[in-house]
């Protein structure tokens, strides 16, 4: 018996990792934005309502342009809040579980230590507010919903900090990297592996089970952007690292204000699922090796 997942998103980091890692016992139907326009709730409801046999619905799609969202709040909310709301209502109507991906950016960064799922959110910008609205809509509309907050996703696919650092190192004589923002770098592949490993359990979990609700899913360990950049080049250019300069967030003014502390506590994941994702440095090694293999076969 296979696990059947209806997935919104086909080309993003998590979406691609889900498709790459799905084994013979998993069948994923990935819907691209061309197939289902996430700004049309009716289309979303129809896609879920008319889908064939389904065990789980995963929303791996989002509006992720954090700074651009300040100028496009309506679009950010349409994709990040109202689309998940439509998914949740449609899932509830069919009795299906919904897995929603959220972000550490629902927090202000004012807390001294790692954020718990029970800490009050206070987003600093439109993007964070739109993702928070999506969290609330999903949890309010679907009684079998798991909202996973993630942080600083990186992979061999798409646009992310790892890819940006490698690209800038080819053209910039000195890389100025922010050193006062801290979070938990997380491999999209490890997030996908977690979802796939728990798929059968989540498909069977009833309403009210402890699996549902908010969950922080990040790799072990916290780092600054500068720390992560150092790790990237220690692995990719050990004999010829680029010149780097640590700078404060204020050195790069952006439309959306960034939280300085976005470290997420994963105690609930360990308690409920008896799992802890591996250290982010180990995950980075695998992604760097994957990038190297891609270059060799290109």
Q: Which letter does DSSP use for residue 218 in this model?
A: -
The closest alpha carbon to 47, from 11, 98, 120, belongs to 98
Which residues carry out catalysis? Answer: 127
Is 9 within 8 Å of 36 (Cβ atoms)? Answer: no
Q: CB burial class (10 A; 0-12, 13-18, 19+) of residue 92? A: middle
Q: Do β-strands 153-154 and 223-224 pair in parallel, antiparallel, or remain unpaired?
A: unpaired
Q: Which letter does DSSP use for residue 81 in this model?
A: I
Q: What is the SS3 assignment for 96?
A: coil
Distance CA 160, CA 151 (A): 11
Q: CB burial class (10 A; 0-12, 13-18, 19+) of residue 50? A: exposed
The closest alpha carbon to 152, from 142, 162, 143, belongs to 162
Assigned token pair, 273: 């699922």
Assigned token pair, 228: 């992560």
Q: Which letter does DSSP use for residue 241 in this model?
A: P
In 3-state terms the chain splits into helix, strand, coil percentages (rounded to 5) of: 40, 20, 40
HSE on the CB side for 9, CA within 13 Å?
25
Total residue length of the chain: 298
Q: What is the SS3 assignment for 206?
A: coil
């Amino acid at each position: 018996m296979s696990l059947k997942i209806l997935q919104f998103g086909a080309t993003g980091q998590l979406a691609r990792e889900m498709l790459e890692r799905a084994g013979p016992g998993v069948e994923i139907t990935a819907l691209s934005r061309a197939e289902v326009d996430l700004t049309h709730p009716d289309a979303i409801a129809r896609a879920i309502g008319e889908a064939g046999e389904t065990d789980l619905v995963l929303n791996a799609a989002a509006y992720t342009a954090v700074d651009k969202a300040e100028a496009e709040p309506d679009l950010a909310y349409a994709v990040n809040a109202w689309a998940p709301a439509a998914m949740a209502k449609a899932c509830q109507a069919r009795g299906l579980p919904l897995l929603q991906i959220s972000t550490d950016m629902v927090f202000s960064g004012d807390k001294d230590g790692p954020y718990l799922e029970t800490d009050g959110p206070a987003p600093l910008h439109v993007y964070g507010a739109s993702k928070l609205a999506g969290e609330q809509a999903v949890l309010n509309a679907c009684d079998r919903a798991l909202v996973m907050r993630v942080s600083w996703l990186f992979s061999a696919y798409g646009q992310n900090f790892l890819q940006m650092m490698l690209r800038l190192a080819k053209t910039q004589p000195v890389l100025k990297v922010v050193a006062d923002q801290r979070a938990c770098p997380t491999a999209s592949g490890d997030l996908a592996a977690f979802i796939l490993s728990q798929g059968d359990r989540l498909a069977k979990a009833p309403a009210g089970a402890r699996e549902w609700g908010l969950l922080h899913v990040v790799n072990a360990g916290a780092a600054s952007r500068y720390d992560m950049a150092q790790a990237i080049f220690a692995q990719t250019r050990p004999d010829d690292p680029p010149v780097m300069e640590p700078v404060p967030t204020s050195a790069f003014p952006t439309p959306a204000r960034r939280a300085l502390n976005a470290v997420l506590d994963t105690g609930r994941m360990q308690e409920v699922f008896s799992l802890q994702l591996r250290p982010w440095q180990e995950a980075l090694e695998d992604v760097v090796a994957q990038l190297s293999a891609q270059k060799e076969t290109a």
